[in-house]
Amino acid sequence: MAEQVYTIQEIPEGHVTTPRGFRAAGVACGIKASGAKDLALLVSETPAVAAGVFTTNQIHAYNIDRNRRLLAERSRVRAVLVNSGNANVCTGQQEVEATEEMARLAAEALGIAEREVLTSSTGIIGVPLPVEKIRAAMPSLVARLSPEGGLEAAEAILTTDTRPKHRAVRVEVGESLFHVGGIAKGAGMIHPHLATMLAYITTDAEVRPLLLRQWIQEIADETFNMVTVDGDTSTSDTFLILSNGASGVNIEEERKPEAQALREALLHVAQYLAREIARDGEGATKLVVVEVEGAPSKEVAKQLARTVSGSLLVRTALYGNDPNWGRIVAAAGRAGVSLEPSRLEIRLAGFPVFRGGEPQPFDREQVRSALAQPEVVITLILNSGHHRATAWSCDLTERYVRINAELTT
């Protein structure tokens, strides 16, 4: 029997409510002094299978504990309420009460149970969350809920980001049709070991809970865990996938073509959002892509890619368009994996610069010109196996220092 073919097609300007059965909205409730949107709500019309991955920071927000507990106790939720501009963490009992009040307010306004509401907060640490502002804005937020509201929600979760991040795709498998969409934020405090930001992905296919839990960890490891902006892991970071079945497509078995197509679509959307987080790193002028090929294992490939992409010396050199491949070699050598220099090849923006333990001749000005482009690829070929991995980062600029020096509580 011939293998069934599936197609995954990008939907221009698609977002988290492109999948059927989801609504969202974003408003300004006054948490941000700038008056920018700072409160987002995502709602599924029916209970959605949900899975999450959260920050590994030992000091984390109470909402992380609450979300973990709810997802362990039940597999379905109806809504996610997110505020930006305030992380609602390190404020003692106040953060617990504020988180529970956020869930209560959303549940009451939507006519659902509090246990069906997950919450997220992002922003300044250690400042009490003004819940009264969320309370006052809740009626207008719920009134604005719309199948077109995903872009509003994408704007409302931003902090130091320069632009919203969103993506959606249409998936066809034979007669089956479903969608995957998502939004994310994150420009600073981004470092592997997820979650590393806020990301919310939806699908109108329905997935067996255990399968979705397996997939979200695998997808996080391949995407958001491979992003570095500044080496800091936040206290509040969250990655959620919601699956509501509004398309009528129900996925129970991983071996089915529909399951393979859905997993690839989820990975595609997550990878796009991860790249955009790196591209929009605080003060960044370019996206840095580190590709490792020919590694003896997947873990070796990942560790090497992460180490090189996170190197401050590599990233400052790239900001200066400096083809200083020695910094790449040095970073690779401290990655904690076994390397054979005589087998190692390095390409910088496509130009071979190191091979067989020796430097390779290259036109310096030509490479400098290539490094000035908005996307730069560093390739390390180990010639020791068939495994590969990709990590994403950005250059490191004086503007990053300025942004974080001026960011105040």
CA atoms within 13 A on the CB side of 303: 14
Alpha helices (runs of H) in 173-239, residue ranges in sequence order: 209-222
User: Radius of gyration (Cα) for the chain, nearest Å?
Assistant: 22
Among candidate residues 164, 283, 290, 155, the one with its CA nearest the CA of residue 229: 283
Query: Catalytic residue among 17, 122, 196, 202, which?
Result: 196
CA torsion 99-103-108-111 (nearest 10°) is 180
Contact 95, 89 (CB under 8 A): yes
84 with 158: CB under 8 angstroms? yes
Whether 196 sits among the annotated catalytic residues: the reply is yes
Query: What tokens were used for 317?
Result: 């050199």
Please, which residues bridge with residue 381 across strands? Answer: 293, 345
Q: What is the DSSP letter of 115?
A: G
Q: Which residues, in sequence order, are CB contacts of 94 under 8 Å at separation 6+? A: 128, 129
* Residues that are catalytic: 196
